Amino acid sequence: MTGSRERGRPRRLSAEEHSLWKTITRAVKPLRVAPPAEGPEEKAAEGGPQPPRKAAPSSVDPSHSPVRKPASPPSPPLAPLERRLRQRLARGSETIDRRLDLHGLTQREAHAALAHFLRAAQAQGVRIVLVVTGKGARAARDDPFAERGVLRRLVPQWLAAAEFRSLVVGFEAAHLGHGGEGALYVRLRRRRGA
């Protein structure tokens, strides 16, 4: 008889279990349940307020938010220039279709010039371009507080950014004959539909 009484009565939590339960319940946020939408039959019904109806069970889990489609397709990854292409460029047997010299430009001017140049080159079907950033040594000699080689550091970051991924396949430092570390070979993507 006592055994059946113990089964019917709920067990009390220990102090440790009670503390754990409090911690868990403080961290839990209740689900927000949307009020049921009024159907045409409720709007047409006369009289006082209708008792709320139970929502039909849904096959969708309410704890998961709806999946959103990305606004644009992910940017394609950059690829290094092939070894043979680099060799042909260094020897001069592969032509550099266009050149852009960013010497003397501010960061804002250089970024705008680079964007315009790459878009125009891609629209014309250009494959390889040379972007000259300079090494930045002259500014460092004139002003000891000037940051050295700002464009040399920033242009590769810009070319690797998502903004330019639809234009740029890859880029690498140029051969000494084309400016070495102060210039970049940039391979452009073909336009879609071209």
Q: Given the structure tokens 């336009």, which residue do they identify? A: 191
Q: Closest Cα partner for 86 from 176, 172, 188?
A: 172
pLDDT for res 109? 93
Nearest to 92 by CA among 178, 33, 170: 178
Q: Are the beta carbons of 175 and 186 closer than 8 angstroms?
A: no
Pairing mode, strands 168-173 and 98-101: unpaired
Query: How much of the chain exceeds pLDDT 70, in percent?
Result: 64
Instruction: Give per-residue pLDDT as tens, 19-29.
Output: 877 777 777 77
The pLDDT, as a whole number, for residue 137 is 62
Residue 142 pLDDT: 61
Query: Band of the pLDDT at 75, cuts 50, 70, 90?
Result: low
> What does the pLDDT read at residue 51?
58
Angle at 159 between CA 111 and CA 131, to 5 degrees: 70
pLDDT grade, residue 11 (50/70/90)? confident
Sorted by where each begins, the domain ranges of the chain are 83-188
User: CA angle at residue 171 from 165 to 175, to 5 degrees?
Assistant: 165
Q: pLDDT by residue (tens digit) across 84-130? A: 887 888 888 888 889 999 988 999 999 999 999 999 999 999 999 99
H-state helical runs in 46-194: 83-91, 107-123, 137-142, 150-160, 162-165
Which CATH number does 83-188 carry? 3.30.1370.110
